[in-house]
Each structure stands twice: as C-alpha cells, then as structure tokens.
Chain A
Amino acid sequence: MKRVLTLATLALTLALGAGHTLGATAQNLHIVSASGDQFWNYDFLSTQCCPPPNNVDWAFDLIFWNNATINKVKNGLENPYDQGGLCASGMNARLNDGTGWVWDSDSGKKTTCCPVTGSAYHFRVYADSDDRLYSTLFGYYVLGSTHIDHAECGSGSWFGYSEDAEAYLRQHVPSGWTVNANSYNLENNEPLRAEGNHIWQNNGYASKIRVP
C-alpha cells in the first residue's frame, strides 16, 4: 500500500509540477542602455508586456562579447554544461538592438539534469532574431544570466547564488576566451535574500567574456 501511495504522490507531483512557479521580485529592475542598445536587466517568467518587478527569474550577470552568438557560447561551454532540452526550463528577455523591442526565450544549458542532491549550474543566453546583438561598445554580443539549481528533484531544493554560479562559469570558458570578472555595471545588485527557496545573490556587475 505504501508503494502505491508513493506512486500516487509522484503522479500528483508530476501533474502539479506541470504548472508554473511564481516569479521572484527584483530590487533593481530597469532598462540599461549600452551605446544605443537597450535591455531590461533581469530575465522574466513570461513575455507579457511592461514587465513588473515581481515577474522575474534572475539578474543578468554575463556579457559574451566581440564575436559572440548564442550557439557559439553554448557550444563553447558544452563541457561541463552538457544538459538542456527538458532538463532546463525557459525564461525570457526583453531587448532592443536599435530596431525596436523584442522578446527572446531561452532554456539555456546546465551541468546536471535535475539533481536529487547536489547542484546543477545553469546559464541562459539571449539575443534577437539573428542570435546576436550588435553595439559599438561590445561588438557582436549576447546577454546571460546564471544560477544554481540545488537538489532540484529532491528534498531541500534551493535556487540562486548567481555570483557563485558566475564564478563557476568563468572557470569553465574555453581557452582563447578572455574573462573580465565583474567588470560591467548592470545596476542589478541583489544582496543575500531568500524569497521562498529562491536565493538572491548578485553584486550588480556582469562578467565580460570575450569570444574570439
């Protein structure tokens, strides 16, 4: 009987899991301008207009620049970020590359698929329809957010610690890519705070990673 109840609980959990989680609340959500381009400095749960601050997921903390595209970044970080697809849920960014506002969605890449214990490191990258943005400041660039999914499929889940996730990603860029840690102010500082099991931790400065 206990096993049947466990299976029944799992079935119900799966059904409830198909619903959506709540958005988190940003303390410093606004539009950032960078040499003609504009973007909101967090990613969002949904693509409904005029984003409110309580509909966000994570603060942007990565700028891949010089000659970056979405695919080049994901391929370059394939080791250790080799999980994607159904293992990574999608979020949305609001961007303006100088020709009007557009949404981009990305589920990103992560290091482990839904761990029961331990941590998966997860990043998402965003650009417009040609998979890259352009500005005179960054050249061809894409924006990203990153966080940790701890015990996502087990007990004791927490999500966040973006600064630590950013440091982890910096350690895993391919040779030939150049890292400038915490070097561009995106004005989205988030001191340590837990909103449910969503742990905010972001110093407001994105790491710039030059992609050759």
Chain B
Amino acid sequence: MKRRLLVLGLAVWAAVFLALATAVFAGSQPALPAPLSDPAEMIPSLSAADADRAGKLALAKVESLLGRLPVRLTDIGVWHTGTDYRVIGAVVEFSIDTPESLTAQWPTMNYDETESSTLLYTKDFAHYAATGVTKLVAFVDLGRGEVVQLTPGPGAVVTNEIDAPRLRSVPTGK
C-alpha cells in the first residue's frame, strides 16, 4: 500500500511539474507555427492507386467487423500529419441508406495530437452499441496496410457503452 501511494504521489508531482513547466516555457500563448507560403503545395494528395487500395482495405474491415452491410463508399481523402505533411494513408467514408443499429468492438486509435511521440498513434478498442448509423468512418494506414480505426460517423447515437476507456476528463482543445 505504501509503495502504491509513493508511486501515485510521484506521478501526481510529475503531472504538476509538467503542467507548470508547459505554462512557464510556452508563455500565455502557444508558439506560432512557422508560416506556410502555399498550403496547397504542402498538403499532400492521394494517388488513384492508393485511394483504390485504401477503399478495398476499409471495405474488407467493414465486412469482417459488421458482416455484409449495404454500404456505399461515398468519399475518400488523404490522411496526413499536421507537422510535416507526411501521408499516413486515407480517411474513407461509407454511407448506409437505411439507418442501422450496430454493436461492435470498434477498432480505435489514440492519436498523438502533438505528433511528438515516436508513434503517431496507439491502437485500442471501444466496445459499444450505436443506433441511427448512416455513415462509417475508417482511417487506413497505408504503410501498415491496415485499418486502424473504424467508427460510426456523424448522426449516430451511442446507446450502450459496454467497454470503452476514458482517456481524459477535459476537452483536448478542438
């Protein structure tokens, strides 16, 4: 018990130290990123071949997770980093004409929004039921050849959280 308290105490002190250090060194405002001369040139695009591959990977994941749903691939776009504009893969959107109720252990990722870690994201799961699902959104890592996240899209309502981790208690700042 004493050891647990010691570990917890150290963690809390580390947390406070980090928060204070961030405030002191960052000042009252976050540092302004280096300006871009032409964002259109910096933002990468997705080749037709990569878009096709991402669509197929995403559809296979939908079918393996949810069975044969009447989904249509309605949109696809590049998935890239925000700091150095590297292509990670694609974001793929599927539409379903009739709203579905779906329960799944949804594959999720925890994306490092500072992009300062060695890994851009860690893989996870969230098990829940959702109704009114008319869209599915998949993140496909083309380097790994893998769908790392598939979740209900806009409009869906979660009705039962079966096993979903709480990772933070305050908004991330979006």
Contacts and interface: CB of A to CB of B under 8 A. Distances in A.
A107 to B, nearest CB: 9
A192 interface: yes
B33 A23 contact: yes
A65 B55 CA distance: 41
A4 B166 CA distance: 15
A27 B26 CA distance: 27
A116 B164 contact: yes
Contacts of B156: 118-119
Given A54-B82, A159-B174, A153 B8 contact: no
B161 A198 contact: no
Contacts of B79: 193-194
Interface string A31-73: 0000000000000011110101111010000000000000000
B94 interface: no
Interface stretch (A5-13, A135-143, A178-186, A204-212): A5-13
Contacts of A48: 29, 32
B80 interface: yes
Nearest to B135: A164
A10 B8 CA distance: 11
B63 interface: no
B65 interface: no
B120 to A, nearest CB: 8
Contacts of A1: 4
A22 B82 contact: yes
Main secondary structure of the interface of A (DSSP, over half): mixed
A22 B172 CA distance: 11
B17 to A, nearest CB: 8
A40 B75 CA distance: 28
Contact of A156 (B39, B76, B124): B124
Contacts of A118: 128, 130, 156-158
Given A27-B39, A27-B40, A161-B154, A12 B164 contact: no
Interface string A186-197: 000001111111
A114 B170 CA distance: 7
A59 B4 CA distance: 47
Interface stretch (A83-91, A94-102, A126-134): A83-91
Interface in B33-90: 33-36, 39-40, 42-43, 75-83, 85
B151 A151 contact: yes
Given A156-B151, A192-B75, A117 B164 contact: yes
A179 to B, nearest CB: 18
Interface string B159-171: 0010011111111
B32 to A, nearest CB: 5
Contact of B43 (A11, A25, A89, A148): A25
Given A8-B8, A194-B91, A25 B166 contact: no
Contact of B168 (A14, A54, A57, A119): A14
A165 interface: yes
B19 A18 contact: yes
Nearest to A45: B30
Contacts of A25: 36, 39, 42-43, 82, 85
A122 to B, nearest CB: 8
B153 A193 contact: no
Nearest to A190: B77
Contacts of B157: 118
* A-B residue pairs, 7 tightest by C-beta: A156-B108, A8-B11, A164-B154, A118-B158, A52-B35, A192-B77, A15-B15
